[in-house]
Amino acid sequence: MDLLSLFPEWVLVHGPAAIVVLPLMVGALIALSPSEKLSWATTWFVTGLSGLMSLGLLLQVISHGPIAYAMGGWKPPLGIAYSVDGLNAPILLLISVIAFVCTVYALPSVIAEVEPEKRSPFYAAFLLSFAGLMGMVVTADAFNVCVFLEVSSISTYALVAMGSSRDRRALPSSFNYLIMGSIGATFFVIGIGFLYMQTGTLNMMDMARVLQDIGPGDRVVQLAFAFIVIGLGLKLAMFPLHTWLPTAYAYAPSFFTAFLAATATKAALYLLLRFTFTVFDPSWHFISNALMVIIAGLGILGMLAASLQAIFQSDIRRVLAFSSVAQVGYILLGIGMATTLGLTAGYLHILNHAIMKGALFLAVGAFWYRFGITKVSDMRGLGTTMPWTMAGFTVAGLSLIGVPGTVGFVSKLALAQAAAENGWWWAIGVIVLSSVLAIVYVGRMIEQAYFQPVPKINDKYIKRNEAPLTMLIPLWTLALASVAFGIDSHWPTSLAQGAAQVLGDGPILLVRETMPAIPAIPSTGGH
Amino acid sequence: MKRARKRARANKMGRSENQHIILRVVAKLLIPLIAVYGLYVHFHGDYGPGGGFQAGVIFASSIILYALIFGLDEAKRVVPPSWIRVIMTLGGLVFGGTGVATWLLGGEYLNYTMFAPDSTHAAGQHWGIFAVEIGVLLTVTSVILAIFYAFGSRGGSRRPNNAPNLSDEDKS
């Protein structure tokens, strides 16, 4: 591939570590930065560089297959391995590109929303959160996942709380998220602990190999799976475990909400895929049952219940947050089918939903930036007062509904096809019903903006007051991406198929090729 | 009444000067010992139990003891909060920088062997861990102190460093 030759050899070899180390170290450095402009520029540069490296890694994976990296030169089953394959390379690119695009937007938004002396620490925490998400996705070591999960979570709590200079409710919502997130992380660690107890290894591939020997009958392995699913379920806002999400999204600084909504749940969804399909074996009865009943079942419940809740919210950000829970439901439905088509559709929706929900939250931040608008009823006349911002919002909103020609349609169609192939005709009904609910909650906002008169102040109509270009460009980048990938969905679909193939290959394949055979360490209890 | 007047006089002379003499003398004896013990735990970490994490906590606790006996303001004069932020970062950078150094030497991230590739007794590993542990020591010490300062001064970072502390003088 021609584009690939542009990347230096070093990036393709050391990239898996560099995309995590770079933001982590620079994040520490800019905590000391005296100037917020400097912090912003550095953040922008670092996320951009990570994006480029992720692109290089993705191209390398597509043309040459998986990349493995041994941290510290310790060979994988013993040392910490980082690996990039068809499953996580697109997520890495997604996270870093969304971070890069959102950082442009952060310049005006952070000045408006965060106290001056907290701005440099804000960017530092953002880079830590970003590094944590990248680390969660790139690492192939189960305990390393927990570490990065905490790195990203703790900085996320701080960032959500920084919304308090705009709205004090950010503090209780951040605390709520802290409690729920810590419970989630604890469940996840307990699950990993049980797996370690049974397999004696923390390397995911090695774990998968040993688990194959242990087999599905082992109670501890079953328990570990339950803990991991619940822990990740909390992190990815699986329907009844989603309660932290609406308030956290609503009161965080708007730039960070956009980033969080587009990436944080996606990284957890990736981990769910990684563990369920490549560490455990989806053909085991308790896992196939869990996929069908719990993952798909809760996904469907979330699609309906959260969409219904979204309709009755008065705060725009809460509408979109509940819609996020519903959209996670679509993804879970795709995963729950556990067929190649279903996984492709679910994975595709991970990418597509990030693009459109990012755009929507960026637009909402711009509404607040210009007019202080947070309520749906205050959106009156926004089609006239902020035409470009509102148009971007509308494009992304239509995508959320699933109008043909947008990414939302592509992934919903793929999901419906997968359901049909699986014989789940009722699921198609649910997808349509949930889309109808989406028409209601998105339509409600669009109706306010375009069909209600512009509000008057002192008998004068409010003048047009467009968002600054630094906000419009990121917003429209994502909005146009949602149309472009909606019209020509070849590239994201091929990425999703690549990921589904990795998942379909199951746990064994990678192990045989890259791992030297080391016998399982018998579990001895003790420490 | 009498006691209150006595306390007011003590305050005027500097509360810590007159009260808790035994505590002050014992603390003055102990604090350097604790600090040295922290360093012992740190450097002993190469050969036995110990290392930067534990040493950092012990070292920080010596300063916390100082703060408990002589007051938070005194402690902040000895170890200013502005330093702490720098040291915290520095520690992270020493750790991360060790990895960057191994990159520059042509190895994997944190591959300490690169520091002494020809050594037969893994001297590179020794130097690498030594560097990394110093980073850990710096960060852990300063983070523990930062947490203590944040809880101790109640207002947290919201308050400028030179603001008066919540002490008896403020209340009257």
DSSP state letter for A521: P
Q: Nearest residue on chain B to A23, judged by CA atoms?
A: B96
B81/A contact by beta carbon, under 8 A: no
Phi, psi (degrees; rounded to nearest 5) at A115: -60, 145
Q: Nearest residue on chain B to A115, judged by CA atoms?
A: B158
Beta-carbon separation of B93 and A28 below 8 A: yes
Please name the member of B86, B96, B111 whose beta carbon is closest to the beta carbon of A72. Answer: B111
Q: Count how many pairs of residues, chain A against chain B, have C-beta atoms within 8 Å.
A: 44
3-state secondary structure of A81: strand
Residues B108-135: tens digit of each pLDDT = 888 888 888 887 888 888 888 889 999 9
Domains of chain B by residue range: 2-164
In the numeric block, which tokens belong to residue A46? 């670092």
Q: How far is B113 from chain A (nearest CA, A)?
A: 8
pLDDT at B7: 55
B85/A contact by beta carbon, under 8 A: yes
Contact A254, A162 (CB under 8 A): no
Using a CB–CB cut-off of 8 Å, the residues of A that contact B are 14, 17-18, 21, 24-25, 28-29, 31-32, 69-73
- Pairwise CA distance, residues A42 & A33, whole Å: 10
Q: What ranges in B13-160 are assigned the alpha helix state H?
A: 15-18, 21-44, 52-70, 72-78, 81-104, 123-152
**A231 burial class (0-12, 13-18, 19+ CB within 10 angstroms)?**
buried
Taking alpha carbons only, the member of A215, A191, A333 closest to residue A284 is: A215
pLDDT at A384: 87
3-state secondary structure of B5: helix
Using 50, 70 and 90 to split pLDDT, how confident is the model at B5? low
pLDDT at A245: 92
pLDDT at A10: 87
- Pairwise CA distance, residues B58 & B62, whole Å: 7
A82: left (phi over 0), alpha (psi -120 to 50) or beta: beta
Instruction: Find chain B residues with C-beta within 8 A of A72's C-beta.
Output: 108-112
Strands A81-84 and A456-457: unpaired
To the nearest 10°, report the CA torsion of A373, A378, A379, A381. Answer: -120
Distances from the Cα of A118 to the Cα of A25, A123, A139, A158, B116, angstroms: 19, 9, 31, 11, 43
Q: Which residue has the tokens 């896992």?
A: A287
- Pairwise CA distance, residues A410 & A93, whole Å: 20
Q: Which residue has the tokens 């690169």?
A: B114
Strands A81-84 and A67-70: antiparallel
Kindly give, in sequence order, each residue whose CB lies less than 8 Å from that of residue A46, ignoring residues fewer than 6 positions away. Answer: A22, A23, A26, A127
Q: Nearest residue on chain B to A79, judged by CA atoms?
A: B111
Contact A110, A101 (CB under 8 A): no
pLDDT at B171: 39
pLDDT at A257: 93
Q: What is the mean pLDDT of residues B83-109?
A: 91
Contact A261, A358 (CB under 8 A): yes
- Pairwise CA distance, residues B169 & B146, whole Å: 25
Taking alpha carbons only, the member of A300, A310, A183, A299 closest to residue A246 is: A310
Beta-carbon separation of A71 and B109 below 8 A: yes
Given a cut of 70, the residues of chain A with pLDDT beneath it are: 1, 506-527
HSE at residue B50, side-chain half, CA atoms within 13 A, is: 17
Beta-carbon separation of A28 and B110 below 8 A: no
Taking alpha carbons only, the member of A172, A140, A183 closest to residue A251 is: A172
Q: Which residue has the tokens 């808790």?
A: B20
Work out the number of other CB atoms within 10 angstroms of the CB of residue A347.
32
- Pairwise CA distance, residues A439 & A307, whole Å: 10
Kindly give, in sequence order, each residue whose CB lies less than 8 Å from that of residue A242, ignoring residues fewer than 6 positions away. Answer: A302, A306, A325, A328
B86/A contact by beta carbon, under 8 A: yes
Kindly give, in sequence order, each residue whose CB lies less than 8 Å from that of residue A384, ignoring residues fewer than 6 positions away. Answer: A454, A464
Beta-carbon separation of B89 and A31 below 8 A: yes
Mutant choice from A24, A32, A128 vs B, greatest count of B C-beta within 10 A: A32
Contact A46, A92 (CB under 8 A): no
pLDDT at B113: 86
Instruction: Find chain B residues with C-beta within 8 A of A80's C-beta.
Output: none
pLDDT at B2: 56
- Pairwise CA distance, residues A186 & A447, whole Å: 44
**A260 burial class (0-12, 13-18, 19+ CB within 10 angstroms)?**
buried
Domains of chain A by residue range: 298-509
pLDDT at B164: 46
pLDDT at B166: 44
Helix (H) or strand (E) holding A83: strand A81-84
Please name the member of B85, B93, B108 whose beta carbon is closest to the beta carbon of A69. Answer: B108
pLDDT at A114: 87
CA angle A74, A80, A82 (to 5 degrees): 110
Please name the member of A14, A28, A70 whose beta carbon is closest to the beta carbon of B103. Answer: A14
- First-residue to last-residue Cα distance in chain B: 14
